[in-house]
Amino acid sequence: MTKIFSLEEISEVAKEILATSNLKKVITFHANMGVGKTTLIKELAKQLGVTNNSSSPTFSLVNEYESKTGEAIYHFDLYRINNELEAYDIGIDEYFYSGNWCFIEWPEKIPHLIPLDHAAIIINLLPNGKRELVLKNE
Residue % of the chain over a pLDDT of 70: 94
**How many other CB atoms are found less than 10 A from the CB of residue 100?**
15
Mean pLDDT of 37-62: 81
What pLDDT does residue 59 have? Answer: 53
- State yes or no: pLDDT of 32 exceeds 60: yes
Q: With both helix axes pointing from N to C terminus, report the angle between 37-47 and 10-18 in degrees, rounded to the nearest 10.
A: 60
Report yes or no on whether pTM surpasses 0.75. yes
Average pLDDT, the chain: 92
Nearest to 65 by CA among 41, 93, 45, 47: 45
pLDDT tens-place string over residues 50-105:
987 655 555 568 999 998 889 999 999 999 999 999 998 989 999 999 999 999 99
Question: Quick one: pLDDT band at residue 110, thresholds 50, 70, 90?
Answer: very high
* Statement: 2-136 belongs to CATH 1.10.1040.10: no
Q: Is the dihedral of CA 57, 5, 116, 82 positive or negative?
A: negative
H/E run at residue 28: strand 26-30
Q: Where are the domains of the chain?
A: 2-136
Contact 17, 120 (CB under 8 A): no
What pLDDT does residue 51 have? Answer: 83
- State yes or no: pLDDT of 4 exceeds 60: yes
